[in-house]
């Protein structure tokens, strides 16, 4: 036990002296929370929608009034004397609405039974942009409301939006578990890969074989150090989230068990990569090849369900997915059964990586 504690203290001092280690353990998660929290918890989510009204009749005014009432867009009028396509090009606009001439008259003609077809409006924009979807939804709602008014009827069916888990949760509560997952992965995987590759390349493992410390003691000391480091990072992350954005997600017993389980999994994966790679530079490259896709495909930043089916299949093969889902299940949704199931998956995957790495690791190899 004394050898394990001594190795934890010595390795910890060395690790925390490194600016990179301290950055990824504490400053990186804080930066993510402050940046994404400021973006997605801002008070207003309106987008600007430039509009040119060439009609100026009561129905065109009604469309613009209803659009403003949706709370989704902020109408910015374009002079009717402007050539709209040139204006869009010159101002580099990504969105613009055109209400054509005689719009009100055409609507009145349809009401009187003269003419057929719909009276079109034109929405200029790129459907691949998220702002286009917002503008399209607002315009669709405004047109539907005006059509109900013209038909002298009212809608009978609608819907209400409720947040899952509890009504007090916000975006930041769903985002923080993903930040914790990224922090656990980067600190355990990247550093353990680099350490094992470096020790193997420089012959440090052969030197360790001449000391009193056993291989299992060295491995246990690394696992304990990463667990303690990541607990500290977790508490700092939660404190910042609480202070800056009134974080409502809670730390539960299962979430506290997931931290050492995640450290065990990713440290074991890093150890496995480190013992099969010949030099630290290659180790860093390989860990990035594995870590970066995992960071973005495992539901840390956006829901897995929003991805294409083939990418969802890839995400389900990544261990960070189960770590993130376990944290959200227990911290946000209060789903203890689901979180324990994900915890067991993390432990099993970590055990597989640990067995493979420990069998391949030799302190006496030439």
pLDDT tens for the chain, residues 1 to 366: 778 888 888 878 877 777 777 787 888 889 989 888 887 765 556 889 999 999 978 999 999 999 988 888 999 999 999 999 999 999 999 999 999 999 999 888 888 778 777 888 999 998 888 788 889 999 998 998 888 888 887 777 777 766 655 556 788 888 999 999 999 999 999 888 888 888 877 777 778 777 888 878 888 888 999 999 999 999 999 999 999 888 888 999 999 999 999 999 999 998 888 888 777 777 778 888 898 899 999 998 888 988 889 999 999 999 999 999 999 999 998 899 999 999 999 999 999 999 998 888 776 654
Give whole-number Cα distances, 195 to 15, 63, 189, 306, in Å.
10, 64, 10, 36
Residue range(s) of every CATH 3.40.1710.10 domain in the chain: 47-150
Beta bridge partners of 123: 97
Give the span between the Cα atoms of 328 and 335, in whole angstroms.
9
pTM confidence score: 0.76
Give the span between the Cα atoms of 266 and 259, in whole angstroms.
11
Give the span between the Cα atoms of 83 and 88, in whole angstroms.
9
For the domain 47-150, what is the CATH superfamily, name and number?
abc type-2 transporter like domain (3.40.1710.10)
Give the span between the Cα atoms of 358 and 361, in whole angstroms.
5
| CA atoms within a 13 Å half-sphere pointing along the CA-CB vector of 344 | 5
């Amino acid at each position: 036990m004394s050898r394990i504690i001594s190795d934890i203290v010595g390795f910890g001092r060395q690790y925390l002296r490194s600016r990179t280690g301290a950055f990824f353990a504490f400053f990186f998660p804080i930066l993510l929370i402050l940046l994404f929290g400021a973006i997605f918890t801002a008070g207003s989510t309106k987008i600007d929608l430039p509009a040119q009204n060439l009609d100026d009749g009561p129905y065109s005014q009604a469309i613009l009034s209803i659009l403003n009432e949706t709370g989704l867009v902020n109408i910015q009028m374009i002079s009717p004397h402007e050539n709209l396509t040139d204006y869009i090009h010159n101002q580099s606009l990504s969105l613009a609405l055109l209400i054509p001439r005689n719009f009100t008259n055409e609507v009145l003609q349809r009401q009187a039974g003269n003419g057929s077809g719909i009276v079109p409006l034109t929405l200029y924009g790129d459907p691949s942009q998220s702002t286009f979807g917002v503008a399209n939804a607002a315009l669709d709602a405004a047109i539907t409301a005006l059509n109900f008014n013209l038909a002298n009827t009212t809608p009978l069916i609608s819907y209400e939006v409720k947040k899952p888990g509890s009504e007090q949760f916000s975006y930041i509560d769903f985002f923080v578990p993903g930040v914790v997952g990224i922090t656990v992965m980067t600190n355990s995987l990247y550093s353990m890969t680099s350490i094992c590759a470096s020790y193997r390349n420089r012959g440090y493992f052969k030197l360790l074989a001449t000391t009193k410390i056993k291989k299992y003691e060295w491995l246990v000391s690394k696992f304990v150090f990463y667990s303690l480091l990541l607990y500290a990072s977790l508490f700092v992350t939660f404190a910042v989230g609480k202070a800056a954005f009134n974080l409502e997600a809670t730390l539960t017993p299962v979430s506290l068990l997931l931290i050492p389980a995640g450290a065990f999994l990713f440290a074991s994966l890093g150890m496995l990569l480190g013992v099969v790679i010949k030099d630290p530079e290659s180790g860093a490259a390989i860990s990035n090849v594995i870590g970066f896709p995992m960071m973005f495909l495992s539901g840390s930043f956006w829901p897995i369900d929003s991805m294409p089916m083939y990418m969802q299949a890839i995400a389900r093969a990544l261990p960070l997915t189960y770590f993130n889902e376990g944290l959200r299940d227990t911290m946000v949704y209060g789903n203890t059964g689901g979180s324990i199931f994900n915890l067991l998956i993390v432990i099993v995957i970590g055990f597989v990586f640990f067995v493979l790495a420990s069998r391949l690791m030799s302190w006496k190899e030439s």
